Structure 1
Amino acid sequence: MKLRFAAVLLLPCGLAHGEPRYTQNDFGGVGLLQTPTARMAPAGELSVNASRTEPYTRYSLSLQPFEWLEGSFRYTAITNRPYGPESLSGDQSYKDKAVDAKVRLWQESHWLPQVALGFQDIGGTGLFSSEYFVANKRFGNFDFSGGVAWGYMGSRGDFDNPLGWVDDRFDTRPPSEGTGDFNANYFRGSPSIFGGVAYQTPWAPLSLKLEYEGNDYKSEPFANSIKQDTPVNIGAVYKLTDSIDLSAAWERGNTAMFGITLHTNFASRKTPVKTYDPPAEPLPAQTPATPPEQVNWANVSQRLQNNAGYKVERITQRGSELLVYGEQSRYFYSAKAVGRASRILDNSVNDDIDWFTLVNKRYDMPLEETSVPRETFREVVKNEESLQDLHRATEVNAAVPHTETTLYTGVRDPFSYGLGLGYKQNIGGPDGLLYQITADADAEYRFTRNTWWSGLLSVNLLNNYDKFTYDAPSGLPRVRTDLRKYLTTSDVTMPTFQLNHAKQLDKDLYGMVYGGYLESMFAGVGGEVLFRPAGQRWSVGADLNFVRQRDFDQGFGLRDYSTVTGHVTGYTDLPFEAQAAVSVGRYLARDWGTTIDLSREFRNGVRFGGWVTLTTATKEEYGEGSFDKGIYISIPFDELMSMSTMRRANIVWAPLTRDGGARLNRSYSLHTMTDSRDSDLFYRNFEKITE
C-alpha cells in the first residue's frame, strides 16, 4: 500500500454530497449511535471510522460498492479484557474482528419508508453478532428510523420470537463460539425493538441524534459488567470539513462517546488537475502538406512517447489508414492516450490519411486496436461536431495482422526503473498494530519485447517490529504464519527477482512463463494461460507453479518446504454492475479449495471488492478465523496524483494471517496485463479523448 493513498484520506476533498447527509454509527456503517438505519451512503463512498465508548474502542472501514449494499470491516478493542496470558501479549487488550453487511430491500417513496436488512459480525468471532430489519422515513429535516433486532443489538428481548411458531429452535439463541466462522444462528432468540431520529439543524455542519437501543448490556462478551441507566442515547455530529466528521454522545445514561470519521467518495470525487502532464498538442490551422513517406517519423515517435505515452514499436500505412504499434506506458485512461496520439499524427501528415489506428501492445502481445476517423476528430476538438458523433464513429477491435507498409521501426529502450515508498501493516494479533515504511527500488530489463527480467529491492526506513513477538499456531505447513520472521530478519530485502516471457498464442489466447524469486516468501517456476475474447465480458485462465520457500532474510537462499500450486479461474461480469472471479485449485499449504472474489468497478477504474476462500483444511488446522476472507480497494494513482500514471494502489484488509487458503502472490497476471481487451473503461471515459 502506498503512502500517497493514506494521505488522500486525511486531506479535505471537494466532494459532491447531496443532502441529506448520512453519517456513521459507533460500529461503522450508516446509522445513529449504537443502532443502524436503513439509509445508505452514495455508491463509491469509503469511510474510515474510530469511536470510543468505555470499555470498547472500535476501528472500522465501511465501503459502499453499490447504492443498495454496504459492507464494513471492524476491529473492536475490549480494553478491560486481555488478549491472553501476559506471557503471550503483554498488556494488549482483546481484539475482536468482524464483518458486517446491510442490504436495501426497497427505497423510500411518498408513502412507504426505506427498508433494509442487516447482519452484524457475520464473518468474525460472533461476539457482537446481530441481525435486524430497519425502516426510515424522512419528514423535512427529521429522519426517523425504527426496527427490530436479534442477537447483540436485541439482547433486551422485548417479546417472544415470532419465528418460534415455525420452529422451536428460533426461541433460543446459542452462545457464540468465537471461531471466526460464519454465524449460523440467524434470527434466533427473543428480539428487541430499536429506533431513533436524526435532525439536521439550521446550521449546516451540525446534526443531532436521538435513539432508543435494544441492548440492555446484561449479556456482554466475556461476562463484561456494564451498567446501563437508560436505553436512550443522544449525540451530535459536527462536519469539520467535507471529508471529516467529529462525533460526541452520551450513551447508556452514564458514558461518553467520542468518534471521528474520515470519508471520501471515489465515484464522484474530482480527479486532481494534471499540472505535471505536458499540454496536448494543438491541432494545426490547416492540414500539413507532408506525405507519409516524407515525414520525420523518428520525431513523431518521440512526441508520441513524450506526449501520448506510447513507446512506439513501428508505424505503418494501409491505404488511407495510419497505424501506430506501441505500448501505452503513461495514461490510465486509454481514450486520453488515443486522443493525444491522434493530435500528433494529425499535425504530421497530409490529407492522404483519413484514419488513425493505435494498436496497443503489452510485452509484445497485441491487445486491441482503436481507430479514430481523422475529420470527425478534428471537428469535435474544434467544437464543430458533437462528441457523440465521434463516439459512434470510433472503433475498438481485436488487434489482428494487416497487410501494410512499414514507415518506421522504433529503437527499443531495454532498461527502466522506479523509486518510491512502500507501506506494510499487520493487525489483529496480540501484538497490536504493526507497520513498516520502506524505500523501494524496482527495475526491469527487456532482452526482447516479450522477454524481460524484473526485480524489487526494499530497504527498511521505519517500523515497530520490536513489538512483533507472536507466531500464530497452525495445523498446516507454515506458508504465511512465519510472517514475523520474514519481516524482522533483515532491513534490506529482495521481494522479487525473476525472468518472464509472454506471448500471444492465438487470436484470443495468451500465455506466460516465469521463474525466480516470485514473492517475498516463495521462489520457483510457473506458467499461465488465458483465453480472453476481445470485447467480451468473460475470460478463463489457468496457472501452475512449482515453488520452494525462501530464507527469512529474503535473499537468494531457500528453505526445505516445496509444493505445487495452481488454479483454474473464471472471470465474468454480473448483471448488477459487478465482477466475479472464481478460482479452483491447490493452495500453498497443499490444501484444495475455491476462492470467490466479488467486486464493483466504477467508471473511473476504482474497484471495491472482497473474497472468501474455503478449502479442505479443517477449522482445527486453519486456526482462529476458520477460513480466509477479506476486502480490498484498488485505486488508480491517476485519481490521486497531479500527473498521469498507469499504476494502481492495492489496499487489502484481512482479519488474520493464516496458512489455509494462501495463494502465491505473483507480480504479473495475464488477466491484469490484458485489461484493455475490455473496452468498457475506454467508452466510459470517452470524453477524455479531447484532453
Structure 2
Amino acid sequence: MPTAESQPDGELSVTMAGFAGTTRGAFAFQILPRLSGTFRYTRLANWIQGGDTYDRSFDMQYRLLDEAKYRPAVAIGLRDFLGTGIYSGQYLVGTKNIGTKLKVTAGLGWGRFSNSDEFQRDTSGNPGGTLLYREWFTGPVGGFAGIEWQTPVKNLRLKAEYSSDSYIRENRIAGERTEATFERKSSLNFGLEYDTKWGVTLGAYHMYGSELGFSVRTSLNPHRGRGIAERAPRPIAVRGPDIDRDTSWTKINGISQTARKQLDKILNRDGMALEGLYFSGETAEIRVRNSRYVSTAQAVGRSARAMARVFPDSVEKFIVVPMVDGLATAAFHIERSDLEEFENHPNAARMMAGRVEINDARLLESGEGAVSGLYPAFNWSLAPFVSVRIFDASNPFAVSAGIRLSGAYQPRAGLTFAGSIVKNLKHDDVSFDDVVSDGLHRVRTDSGRYNAEGDPSLERLTGEYLFKVRPDTYGRVTVGYLEKMYGGVSGEILWKPADSKWGFGAELNYVKQRDFDQRFGFQDYDVVTGHVSAYLDLPRGFVAQLDVGQYLAGDKGGTISLHRTFGNGWKVGAYATLTDVPFEEYGEGSFDKGLSLTIPLGWVTGQQNRRSIENTLASLTRDGGARLRVQNRLYGLVENSHATAASASWARFWK
C-alpha cells in the first residue's frame, strides 16, 4: 500500500521484491521535491497456461500537502497508468508521524485499491500504453491503512497494514490458467525492515494470511554523491598593489611559445590540454580540451588559475573556451581582479557566478593561434565490456560481455576517422523473432538476430566532421557504418547560443540496413530518416526536447523527452514517441517510451573521469518510432559547456 512520503529530491531507488510467484523490480526517481515516478517490471508466474507473464508499468505520485504539527502529509497517485492495466489504480493517502518512533498512514483507493472485483480495465488482450484518464478515480472505493514502528533496535522497523487490494485476478482461474496464483485469506500484512550499514534495506513479510514475501532496496542520490579524490588547485597568483600596466612584453621574441609551454605544463597537471592561445597586452584567450572534469565550471576555474600564473600583470581579461572534439563550445569571460578578490570570499562561487560572462566563442581564421603538435593524433584501446539489458519483454536481466578493439585517427581538429570491432565472450540477449509490427519493416525487432550472427562484428566504422557555421551554429557530417544495424550518411545542424535557454536543430540521414553478420554488406532496405528538434533549458537542471520527423520504418511522428542533469554528471530522463503507426499495429505498449540513466564513472571509482555508464529502460523494443543511433549528436556535445548547465555546477569553479 502507498504512503504520502517522498524520497529526498533527486533520489533514485531500486527495489526487488516478491511473494506468491510474483517478482517485482522497481526503479523510482524523485523527479521534483513533490513529484516522483516509478517504472515497475513484474514477473507473474503461471499467469497463463504454459508460461509466465512479464508486465511493465509506470506510476506517478504528487505530494499535495506537507506534514505539519497537526496535519498529515497528503499525496495523490496513479499506479500502472501507462501499462496493460494489471495493476491499474489511483489513490489519495495521508501519512503522519507521531513522535519519533511511530508513523501512521491511511488512504482511499480506486481500481486495484478498491477491494472490489469490478475492474477499471479489462486486461485481456489489452496492449496498454494509453492514458485512459476517464477511468481514473471512478468505480468502487476501498480504504487502506498502516502503521510503522521504529523499534529500540537501531535501523529495525516493524510494519502492519490493512490492504484494500483483493488480488481478484490472482485468486481466481483466469483465461488459460488452470489454478489460482495464491489463496488470499486475510487483508492484514505484517513485516519488518532493516537498514544495513551498506545502504541496502532488507525486508521480510507475512502476506494476506498465507504467503511469505521479501524485498531488497538500495538508494542513490546525486546530491549526496561520494568523495572524488583529486589534487587541490594551485592558489591564485595575486598581483601586487602596484600593477604593472606595461604591454611591451608582447613584443618579446618567442613570448608566445614560452607562454604556451608554461600553460600546457600547468593544464596537463590537471588533465587538460591547450589547443589554442591568443593574447594582446590586456586580454588573453585560451582554448582548452578537458579530459578529466565532469563539471565545465571546474575545468574553467582551473584554466583561469593557470592563466593567472603565466600572464603578466597587464592582462586583465581572461577568456576560457572549452573545446569538445574540436568544437569551440562557449567563451567564459573572466576578470582577473575578480579572481584575486573572491578566491577566499565566504561566498566565492556565488560572487564569481555573478561576474563571469558566458557567450559564443568567436570563429577563427584557419590555423590562428593553434598549438602545434596536437594533430595528427591516433588513439586506440583494447578493453573488456559488459552490456546489461534489464526489464525486457522475455528476459528480465540479459548480460553480454566481451572485448572491444577501438581506434580513432584525427588528422585535424574536428575531423575523426574511428571504428570498433567487438568479440562476444558471453552472450545472453533477447530474441525478437516472434515480434512483428504489421505493415512495418523490421528495423529493430531483428536485433536478436544481429547479436547472434554478428560475432565478431564491425560495430562502427565512420568518418566524422564537426564544424561551426557561425559562432552560435554547429554542424556535423558522419559517413560510414553508423551503428550495428545501419550504415550511410548522417548530417546535422544546430543553432544554440551559449547564453540562450533555447536551441533548434535539424538532422537528415540516408541509411541502408546492414547484413546480420555486421561485416561490410548491406540488405535491400534503405530509408531517408530525420527530424527537426527544439531544446529548452528549464530550472533545476531539466532539459526538454521535441523531435518531429520520419523514423527508420518510414513512420512519421514525434518524440518528447525530458532529462535532468545534476552538477556531478548524473542524468535521469524519460521519453515517449508517438507516430502514425496505429496502437494495435504497434503491439503491446501501444507506443515507444522509456527511461534513461547516466552515471558518471568517476562517481563509481572515486576518481575524476569524464566517461559514464549509460542505460535505457525501454518498455519494449518495437519497429515503430525507431531512431538511428548515430554518435555525437550536437546538442549532447555542447550542452554541458553552455550557460545553464555550467551554472548548475558553478560551486566547483574553485575546486
Q: Secondary structure at the match of 1:639?
A: helix
What is the alpha-carbon distance in structure 2 between the residues aligned to residue 647 and residue 43 of structure 1? 25
Q: Which residue of 1 aligns with 2:111?
A: 151
Q: Is the 8 A contact 2:329 2:642 kept in 1?
A: no
Does structure 1 residue 416 correspond to structure 2 residue 379?
Answer: yes
Does structure 1 residue 263 correspond to structure 2 residue 219?
Answer: yes
Q: Is the 8 A contact 1:523 1:549 kept in 2?
A: yes
Distance 1:268 1:576, change over 3 A: closer
Does structure 1 residue 199 correspond to structure 2 residue 149?
Answer: yes
Q: Once the 2 structures are TM-superposed, how far is the Cα of residue 539 of structure 1 from its aligned partner? A: 0.7
Q: Secondary structure at the match of 1:441?
A: strand
Select 2:474's aligned residue among 510, 529, 554.
Answer: 510
Q: Once the 2 structures are TM-superposed, how far is the Cα of residue 524 of structure 1 from its aligned partner? A: 0.9
Q: Which residue of 2 aligns with 1:236?
A: 192
Q: Which residue of 2 aligns with 1:189?
A: 139
Mean Cα deviation higher: 380-389 or 233-242: 380-389
Output aligned runs, 1:243-262, within 5 Å: 243-262=199-218
Q: Is the 8 A contact 1:398 1:534 kept in 2?
A: yes
Matched residue type, 2:449: K
Q: Once the 2 structures are TM-superposed, how far is the Cα of residue 286 of structure 1 from its aligned partner? A: 7.3
Distance 1:66 1:383, change over 3 A: closer
Select 1:75's aligned residue among 41, 58, 66.
Answer: 41
Does structure 1 residue 139 correspond to structure 2 residue 98?
Answer: yes
Q: Deviations over 1:173-218 (max 9, x none)?
A: 3422431222513223212111111222233311111111112233
Distance 1:376 1:587, change over 3 A: same
Output aligned runs, 1:527-676, within 5 Å: 527-574=491-538, 578-676=542-640
What is the alpha-carbon distance in structure 1 between the residues aligned to residue 77 and residue 344 of structure 2? 52
Q: Secondary structure at the match of 1:540?
A: strand
Does structure 1 residue 104 correspond to structure 2 residue 63?
Answer: yes
Q: Is the 8 A contact 1:434 1:468 kept in 2?
A: no
Mean Cα deviation higher: 566-575 or 411-420: 411-420
Q: Which residue of 1 aligns with 2:233?
A: 280
Q: 4+ residue stretches of structure 1 with deviation over 6 A?
A: 285-290, 405-408
Select 1:434's aligned residue among 363, 387, 398.
Answer: 398
What is the alpha-carbon distance in structure 2 between the residues aligned to residue 214 and residue 671 of structure 1? 47
Select 1:53's aligned residue among 12, 19, 24.
Answer: 19
Q: Secondary structure at the match of 2:310?
A: coil
Q: Is the 8 A contact 2:537 2:644 kept in 1?
A: no
Q: Is the 8 A contact 1:311 1:326 kept in 2?
A: yes
Q: Once the 2 structures are TM-superposed, how far is the Cα of residue 515 of structure 1 from its aligned partner? A: 1.0
Distance 1:520 1:678, change over 3 A: same
Select 1:129's aligned residue among 80, 85, 88.
Answer: 88
Distance 1:269 1:279, change over 3 A: closer
Q: Once the 2 structures are TM-superposed, how far is the Cα of residue 379 of structure 1 from its aligned partner? A: 4.7
Q: Once the 2 structures are TM-superposed, how far is the Cα of residue 401 of structure 1 from its aligned partner? A: 5.1
- Ranges in structure 2 where 5+ consecutive residues have no aligned partner: 175-179
Select 2:127's aligned residue among 179, 186, 209.
Answer: 179
Distance 1:343 1:183, change over 3 A: closer
Q: Is the 8 A contact 1:605 1:681 kept in 2?
A: no
Mean Cα deviation higher: 470-479 or 234-243: 470-479
What is the alpha-carbon distance in structure 1 between the residues aligned to residue 481 and residue 490 of structure 2? 11
Matched residue type, 1:263: S
Select 2:168's aligned residue among 218, 221, 234.
Answer: 218
Q: Is the 8 A contact 1:193 1:214 kept in 2?
A: yes
What is the alpha-carbon distance in structure 2 between the residues aligned to residue 585 and residue 241 of structure 1? 50
**Aligned residue pairs, count:** 632
Matched residue type, 1:121: D
What is the alpha-carbon distance in structure 2 between the residues aligned to residue 626 and residue 612 of structure 1? 11
Q: Once the 2 structures are TM-superposed, how far is the Cα of residue 402 of structure 1 from its aligned partner? A: 8.4
What is the alpha-carbon distance in structure 1 between the residues aligned to residue 510 and residue 236 of structure 2? 54
What is the alpha-carbon distance in structure 2 between the residues aligned to residue 432 and residue 634 of structure 1? 20
Q: Is the 8 A contact 2:277 2:285 kept in 1?
A: yes
Q: Once the 2 structures are TM-superposed, how far is the Cα of residue 571 of structure 1 from its aligned partner? A: 0.9
Q: Deviations over 1:453-476 (max 9, x none)?
A: 1222222122235x8585423322
Q: Once the 2 structures are TM-superposed, how far is the Cα of residue 235 of structure 1 from its aligned partner? A: 0.8
Matched residue type, 2:517: D
Distance 1:676 1:100, change over 3 A: closer
Q: Is the 8 A contact 1:271 1:638 kept in 2?
A: no
Q: Which residue of 1 aligns with 2:453?
A: 489
Distance 1:172 1:468, change over 3 A: closer
Q: Is the 8 A contact 1:613 1:629 kept in 2?
A: yes
What is the alpha-carbon distance in structure 2 between the residues aligned to residue 664 and residue 484 of structure 1? 17
Q: Is the 8 A contact 1:308 1:338 kept in 2?
A: no
Distance 1:219 1:377, change over 3 A: same
Q: Once the 2 structures are TM-superposed, how far is the Cα of residue 434 of structure 1 from its aligned partner? A: 2.2
Q: Once the 2 structures are TM-superposed, how far is the Cα of residue 382 of structure 1 from its aligned partner? A: 5.5
Select 1:395's aligned residue among 325, 347, 357.
Answer: 357
Q: Deviations over 1:84-109 (max 9, x none)?
A: 75xxxxxx522112111112222222
Does structure 1 residue 317 correspond to structure 2 residue 279?
Answer: yes
Mean Cα deviation higher: 538-547 or 640-649: 640-649
What is the alpha-carbon distance in structure 2 between the residues aligned to residue 49 and residue 42 of structure 1? 16
What is the alpha-carbon distance in structure 2 between the residues aligned to residue 73 and residue 343 of structure 1? 45
What is the alpha-carbon distance in structure 1 between the residues aligned to residue 159 and residue 540 of structure 2? 34
Quote the sequence identity (%).
30
Output aligned runs, 1:442-461, within 5 Å: 442-461=406-425
Q: Deviations over 1:489-508 (max 9, x none)?
A: 13322221111112211232
Q: Which residue of 2 aligns with 1:15?
A: none
Q: Is the 8 A contact 1:248 1:259 kept in 2?
A: yes
What is the alpha-carbon distance in structure 2 between the residues aligned to residue 148 and residue 661 of structure 1? 38
Matched residue type, 1:280: P
What is the alpha-carbon distance in structure 2 between the residues aligned to residue 626 and residue 487 of structure 1? 25
Q: Once the 2 structures are TM-superposed, how far is the Cα of residue 118 of structure 1 from its aligned partner? A: 1.1
Q: Secondary structure at the match of 2:169?
A: coil
Q: Once the 2 structures are TM-superposed, how far is the Cα of residue 283 of structure 1 from its aligned partner? A: 5.0
Q: Once the 2 structures are TM-superposed, how far is the Cα of residue 133 of structure 1 from its aligned partner? A: 1.2
What is the alpha-carbon distance in structure 2 between the residues aligned to residue 365 and residue 464 of structure 1? 39
Q: Secondary structure at the match of 1:66?
A: coil
Q: Deviations over 1:127-168 (max 9, x none)?
A: 1111111111221122211111111222337xxxxxxxxxxx
Distance 1:364 1:76, change over 3 A: closer
What is the alpha-carbon distance in structure 2 between the residues aligned to residue 652 and residue 325 of structure 1? 34
Q: Is the 8 A contact 2:295 2:652 kept in 1?
A: yes
- For normalisation by structure 2, the TM-score amounts to 0.90
Matched residue type, 2:13: S
What is the alpha-carbon distance in structure 2 between the residues aligned to residue 222 and residue 273 of structure 1? 58
Q: Is the 8 A contact 2:591 2:625 kept in 1?
A: yes
Q: Which residue of 1 aligns with 2:293?
A: 331
Distance 1:199 1:282, change over 3 A: same
Does structure 1 residue 374 correspond to structure 2 residue 346?
Answer: no
What is the alpha-carbon distance in structure 1 between the residues aligned to residue 74 and residue 2 of structure 2? 12
Mean Cα deviation higher: 546-555 or 500-509: 500-509
Q: Is the 8 A contact 1:368 1:676 kept in 2?
A: no
Distance 1:426 1:206, change over 3 A: closer
What is the alpha-carbon distance in structure 1 between the residues aligned to residue 371 and residue 228 of structure 2? 36
Q: Once the 2 structures are TM-superposed, how far is the Cα of residue 406 of structure 1 from its aligned partner? A: 7.3
- Ranges in structure 1 where 5+ consecutive residues have no aligned partner: 1-34, 86-91, 158-170
Distance 1:66 1:401, change over 3 A: same
